[in-house]
Chain A
Amino acid sequence: MVQLLIGQALNGVIVGTLYGIIALGVTLTFGITGIVNFALGEFMMIGAYLTWYLVDVAGLPFAVALLPAVVGAAGCGFVADQLLFRFTRNNLINGLLVSIGLISVVESGALLLWSATPKDMSYVLTGSVQLATISLPEMKLVVFALLAAVILLTYAALSRTWMGRAAYAFAQNAEAAMLMGVKTARLQSGVVVYSTALAGFGGALYASLYSLEPAMGGMYILKGVEAAILGGIGSPLGSLVGGIILGVTEAIGSIYLPSAFRDAYGLVFIVGILLYRPSGLFGSDR
């Protein structure tokens, strides 16, 4: 039983980083543009399908396919920003409506292009790492390392580069940041595009672990939003921690309780945390 618990806790950590990367996109977009971009799950789906296409159809190695898939998702993010999101800046309701509309459009487009038949990409790594009696798939460990690295690098870039500090400054006081020379329109577009690139990266790695279907983004954006709220909106590290807590809670909850209500275990945990820390684990109390 202990081995089962440890194994699933580790699995929860790995799955949680996938929630974390979407949560990071959610938290960045909300902090800088004032909208909750529910369509981020769709950019994840785009990244996943592009990866599948480049690997299984075009025959590229997975490592080579990652970059164009991320660029493709970011490119779609740029188009969406210029055509739609830039008109909804700092308007939560309009942004929400546009992002929900975008979900329908992108999902229908994916269905038209790739049908509802699940796509299961050629396996990149098939082996497992054996820790005593615990078996962890090698690909999951690679995905965990890559996602955690990207989240931590984003955190470092936000706290140690001029651009990152400009983003923080803008999130705290947009007018003051503008007066200090921060090019706000470019910053906002940049953050939207970067968030979609993160989602695309998450999607590309997701494709190496799970089967793809056009509706896949829906569940992950909900987890991403949950993780962002749990970790504290505005905190990149909080996104990672929030995602991991969510992943571990679901995995452990499924062992002791019926797995049919797995999603609820994370939500109950969030409610419990938010009762004591309304701004999330790493969120500012301001």
Chain B
Amino acid sequence: MIKALMWLSAVSLMATPVFAQDVVKIGQIEAQTGPNAIYGYMSSQGMPIAVDQINKAGGFKVGDKTYKLELISPDTRGDPKEASIQLKKMLETDGVRFVFGPFLSNVFVTIEPYAKQFNGKFLLMGGATRIHDFLGKPDHDFLMRTWNWDAGPKGFGNLMVDRLIKDTGAKKVALLIQNDQGGKVLADIYLPMFKAKGVETQIEFFEPGTKDFSAVLAKLAAGKPDILFPGYSDAALYDIVRQSVEGNYFRRFFLVRGSLGPGLKNKDQIDDYFVYVPKYFEAAEKTDPKVAKFVADYKAFYKRDFPYDQAPLCSSSCYDHVFMLVEAMKKAGSVTDVAKIRKALLSMTYDGLWKISYDEHGEEIFNFDIVHMTRGGKIAVTSVEAR
């Protein structure tokens, strides 16, 4: 009996590492609750679907081994301290080598000093705007940014501002931006951009969680700008757009973050509503079978309606990115050699919901849409191939 137990223990001990090697753990650090959950919501919704589909298909083969994925996805609640603890656990306890997120810049700047100690040992693939500043810097090979950059000759923001000036002839723009890391970055990018194109600007910041914007809208409107550039999440945008038209402060809007939803809601009161939409799902669903399948898969997986207004945010660290990582592992012939896998990611173009590639520093480039809505809800969509 004792011998049998000893055999059993020995077999179990031998079996454990074999089992562990067959699972690739991927982590995700995003806010799933809290005031900025809107930015982590779609990522945390899309990744489980991808993981489920890959695992249900029997996993993926690298070399002669078949692997399955295990997703570790705690809720940061947008709290940098919470995210730091979660990342530490992933890297030091769970042995995670691939972490998706964060989307929030304030979370990223807090975890960055810790994360860089693990340079070469893992990949951090997030959409946070602040990640851009660290790409290509020494000791930051672990970083990849999963979102189009705004500035530069091919930056989506640059293309949008050109479009705005061409279509509306705007000479003065009022910016109303959330007072946090993400908002400050937007100001740093767009104020010089407008200035370089000869457009005058005025700017006000608002506290996260603000709901009543009447006072600051009245203050901005007093400067008589041509258009309002509000940022940056729908939680604020619904209120900003509504209060702008109700108080007769603004009827023309230009957005580089946020959705079409606030414009549609007030479609009979607005004159122009320009918005950067990584993908206009309502239209793409009808023409692209991959998009239609994703929408159907989402509904089946979560047994609820598809969140069309949030879905464009799935362009960052979400569904496609899991499949892309798996393809990169196959190409690299390894699930552990982080440098090889990064090299594979940088050299490939993944054709999923989006056509995704990376530049030499690890910044994502993907196709996107510019939606211009005019009074009554008339929509014109321009698809832009970013590369």
Is the A/B pair a real complex? Answer: yes
Where the two chains meet, the residues of A that have a C-beta atom closer than 8 Å to any C-beta of B are: 4, 7-8, 11-12, 15, 107-108, 111, 115-118, 120, 123, 126, 128, 135, 137, 210-211, 213-216, 218-219, 250-252, 254-255, 258-263
User: Are the CB atoms of B215 and A251 closer together than 8 Å?
Assistant: yes
Closest chain-A Cβ to B144's Cβ sits at a distance in Å of 25
User: Are the CB atoms of A11 and B238 closer together than 8 Å?
Assistant: no
User: Are the CB atoms of A7 and B218 closer together than 8 Å?
Assistant: yes
Cα(A117)–Cα(B234), bound, Å: 8
User: Are the CB atoms of B219 and A259 closer together than 8 Å?
Assistant: yes
Known interface pairs A8-B214, A128-B246, A254-B219; A118-B207 also in contact (CB < 8 Å):
no
Cα(A243)–Cα(B110), bound, Å: 36
User: Are the CB atoms of B212 and A211 closer together than 8 Å?
Assistant: no
Asked if B265 is an interface residue, CB under 8 A from chain A, the answer is yes
Known interface pairs A120-B242, A211-B239, A260-B179; A8-B33 also in contact (CB < 8 Å):
no
Known interface pairs A120-B242, A128-B248; A260-B204 also in contact (CB < 8 Å):
yes
User: Are the CB atoms of B247 and A137 closer together than 8 Å?
Assistant: yes
Chain B, 217-261, CB within 8 A of any chain A CB: 218-219, 222, 234-235, 238-239, 242-243, 246-248, 261
User: Are the CB atoms of A213 and B265 closer together than 8 Å?
Assistant: no
Report which of A12, A107, A120, A252 forms a contact with B265, defined as CB distance below 8 A. A120
Most central of A213, A219, A251 by chain B CB within 10 Å? A213
Residues of B within 8 A of A137 (CB): 243, 246-247
Cα(A15)–Cα(B214), bound, Å: 10
Report which of A210, A214, A251, A258 forms a contact with B33, defined as CB distance below 8 A. A214
User: Are the CB atoms of A214 and B37 closer together than 8 Å?
Assistant: yes
User: Are the CB atoms of A11 and B214 closer together than 8 Å?
Assistant: yes
User: Are the CB atoms of A215 and B37 closer together than 8 Å?
Assistant: yes
Chain B residues within 8 Å of chain A by Cβ, number: 39
Known interface pairs A117-B310, A120-B238; A259-B34 also in contact (CB < 8 Å):
no
Residue of B nearest to A104 (CB): B33
Asked if B153 is an interface residue, CB under 8 A from chain A, the answer is no
Asked if B23 is an interface residue, CB under 8 A from chain A, the answer is no
User: Are the CB atoms of A118 and B234 closer together than 8 Å?
Assistant: yes
Cα(A254)–Cα(B219), bound, Å: 8
- 7 closest A-B pairs (Cβ-Cβ)? A211-B238, A260-B205, A116-B37, A254-B215, A260-B179, A259-B216, A116-B41
Asked if B211 is an interface residue, CB under 8 A from chain A, the answer is yes
Residues of B within 8 A of A250 (CB): 215
Residues of B within 8 A of A255 (CB): 215, 218-219
Contacts beyond the supplied A15-B212, A260-B205, A260-B207: 5 A-B pairs with Cβ under 8 Å: A116-B310, A118-B238, A210-B239, A213-B37, A262-B215
Residues of B within 8 A of A123 (CB): 242
User: Are the CB atoms of A126 and B246 closer together than 8 Å?
Assistant: yes
Residues of B within 8 A of A219 (CB): 209, 211
User: Are the CB atoms of B38 and A118 closer together than 8 Å?
Assistant: yes
Contact mask B309-320 → A, CB, 8 Å, 1/0? Answer: 110000000000
Residue of B nearest to A263 (CB): B207
Residue of A nearest to B311 (CB): A117
Residues of B within 8 A of A15 (CB): 212
Cα(A86)–Cα(B204), bound, Å: 46
Most central of B209, B212, B222, B239 by chain A CB within 10 Å? B212
User: Are the CB atoms of A210 and B206 closer together than 8 Å?
Assistant: no
Residue of A nearest to B37 (CB): A116
Asked if B73 is an interface residue, CB under 8 A from chain A, the answer is no
Cα(A252)–Cα(B207), bound, Å: 16
Residue of A nearest to B176 (CB): A259
Report which of A4, A210, A213 forms a contact with B219, defined as CB distance below 8 A. A4
Cα(A216)–Cα(B35), bound, Å: 8
Closest chain-B Cβ to A220's Cβ sits at a distance in Å of 9
Report which of B34, B215, B309, B310 forms a contact with A11, defined as CB distance below 8 A. B215
Known interface pairs A117-B309, A211-B239, A259-B204; A111-B33 also in contact (CB < 8 Å):
yes
Cα(A116)–Cα(B31), bound, Å: 10
Closest chain-B Cβ to A117's Cβ sits at a distance in Å of 5
Cα(A66)–Cα(B234), bound, Å: 25
Cα(A37)–Cα(B235), bound, Å: 25
User: Are the CB atoms of B222 and A4 closer together than 8 Å?
Assistant: yes
What are 25 A-B interface contacts by the 8 Å CB criterion? A4-B219, A7-B218, A11-B212, A12-B215, A111-B37, A117-B38, A118-B235, A120-B261, A123-B242, A128-B248, A137-B247, A211-B211, A213-B235, A215-B35, A216-B211, A218-B35, A219-B211, A251-B214, A254-B216, A255-B215, A255-B219, A259-B216, A259-B219, A260-B204, A263-B207
Residue of A nearest to B205 (CB): A260
Asked if B28 is an interface residue, CB under 8 A from chain A, the answer is no
User: Are the CB atoms of B218 and A111 closer together than 8 Å?
Assistant: no
Residues of A within 8 A of B117 (CB): none
Cα(A252)–Cα(B206), bound, Å: 14
Chain B, 340-382, CB within 8 A of any chain A CB: none
Asked if B32 is an interface residue, CB under 8 A from chain A, the answer is yes
Most central of B32, B218, B304 by chain A CB within 10 Å? B218
